[in-house]
Structure 1
Amino acid sequence: MPFELQPLPYAEDALEPYIDAQTMRIHHDFHHGGYVNNLNNAIENYPDLQQRSIDDLIRNLHTLPEAVRTAIRNHGGGHFNHSIFWSVMGPNAGGEPTGEVATLINDVFGNFENFKTQFNDAGAKHFGSGFVWLVKTTNNQFEIISQPNQDCPWSDGHYPILCNDVWEHAYYLTYQNRRPEYLKQWWNTVNWNAVNERLAIAQRL
């Protein structure tokens, strides 16, 4: 199949106690895996789309055939978003941001505590399922946004730098309905080296 589910870049229990191993296994293998399978099914009769990267499909969503655009938005978005989500987390991570992203946060948001408060607030107030993002916008600003379901800011030209998944399946086994607690604890998993790599790409655009 044109798209494949890549293994987690760390062990399922590597983010404990902040995200438990069972959540990681179900989230990665079945939710993310389901998006990959459904994406492949959606483009089965479109060999030209099978040759394109997920980045290309999501970035140019508005140009895709109408018959499969919604499926690619939902399932391709799920694949794209989760691939970023796994990459910006890691074991023995968290703490204060480092490198260029630390400078960016201080310049744009005042300090890290302000940034976390605004990011967590966007996630806590997001109605229903979706993701909260730090993006570089089309007018070269850095903003925190939230988007529903598996919509991706890249489809609107906003480059994604950091994200957190606020679908209930991302946190419910440990935190139940306490999304704000999950949002607070999630910072202990953030891999700032990976975030700096995404920021470097954003700054070249």
Structure 2
Amino acid sequence: MKFTQPKLPYAQDALAPVISPLTIEYHYGKHEKAYIDTLNKLIAGTEFEDMALEDIIVKSEGKLFNNASQAWNHIFYFFQFSPDGLKEPSGSLRDQIEEQFGSIDEFKHQFEEAGATLFGSGWVWLAVDHDNKLCIIQGKNAENPLTKGLKPLLVFDVWEHAYYLDYQNLRADYLHKLWDIVDWSVIEMRYR
């Protein structure tokens, strides 16, 4: 197996009550594992077998793209959280958010709104372009900013399996609570 599922950098119950241990068990433990297992089967013996995951995402389509991108998206999502991380952005990232969105609160409002209004399943992203301009992007299904030449910084998963066990149909509540566990030191590292 080329790709393996990395161990989370926190205990299964560390993000509760925002994300319950049961959601971690199913969402990361089963959904994410299935994407990685399927990805490994799909690339075996193909031109993609020796590529980096990001290259597979950019160069593939259909079932291979869906599994590669979902494998990457979930790792990106789960590894941005911490029960005791930096709670607000700082430095140049904070400055850029405030310049473009007016305030941190306004950025969060727009980000949550993009997630709440995405019809169906997908992701809401904060990404940066080559000119250092931040953008909030809705991505349906497995869509990923890498395919648009953008650098992803932050993502919230709006597939129902990400929140339904904990929030049922209250997607907006889930999106709002995720700020409590975002570790902005991770987002700042991605920005640099």
Q: Supply the distance in 1 between the matched residues of 2:172 and 2:94 (Cα, whole angstroms).
A: 23
Q: Supply the distance in 2 between the matched residues of 1:31 and 1:144 (Cα, whole angstroms).
A: 25
Q: TM-score by structure 2 length?
A: 0.95
User: Does the 8 A contact of 2:85 with 2:185 survive in 1?
Assistant: no
Q: Supply the distance in 2 between the matched residues of 1:106 and 1:139 (Cα, whole angstroms).
A: 17
1:113 aligns with 105
1:33 aligns with 33
State whether structure 2 residue 121 is matched by structure 1 residue 122.
no
- Among 52, 70, 73, the alignment partner of 1:78 is 70
2:49 aligns with 50
Shift of 1:139: 5.3
Secondary structure of 1:145's match?
strand
Please list every run of 5 or more consecutive structure 1 residues that lacks an aligned counterpart in the other structure: 201-205
2:182 aligns with 190
* CA deviation profile, 1:140-181 (whole Å, cap 9, x unmatched): 421101101111110111110110101111111110000000
2:80 aligns with 88
1:13 aligns with 13
Q: Supply the distance in 1 between the matched residues of 2:130 and 2:143 (Cα, whole angstroms).
A: 17
Which structure is higher in helix share?
1
Letter in 2 for 1:28: Y
**Greater displacement, 28-37 / 93-102:** 93-102
2:172 aligns with 180
Letter in 2 for 1:45: G
Secondary structure of 1:50's match?
coil
Q: Supply the distance in 2 between the matched residues of 1:40 and 1:16 (Cα, whole angstroms).
A: 31
Change in CA separation of 1:15 and 1:2 when aligned onto 2, cut-off 3 Å:
same
Change in CA separation of 1:97 and 1:157 when aligned onto 2, cut-off 3 Å:
same
Letter in 2 for 1:17: P
Shift of 1:95: 2.9
Q: Which consecutive aligned stretches of 4+ in structure 1 deviate over 4 angstroms post-superposition?
A: none
Letter in 2 for 1:84: F
* CA deviation profile, 1:18-63 (whole Å, cap 9, x unmatched): 11011011111111111001111111221x42211112222x32xx
Please list every run of 5 or more consecutive structure 2 residues that lacks an aligned counterpart in the other structure: none
Aligned length: 192
Q: TM-score by structure 1 length?
A: 0.89
Q: Supply the distance in 1 between the matched residues of 2:2 and 2:19 (Cα, whole angstroms).
A: 30
User: Does the 8 A contact of 1:9 with 1:86 survive in 2?
Assistant: no
Identical positions, percent: 37
Letter in 2 for 1:106: E
Change in CA separation of 1:153 and 1:57 when aligned onto 2, cut-off 3 Å:
same
User: Does the 8 A contact of 1:94 with 1:187 survive in 2?
Assistant: no
2:159 aligns with 167
Letter in 1 for 2:44: E
1:203 aligns with none
Shift of 1:130: 0.4
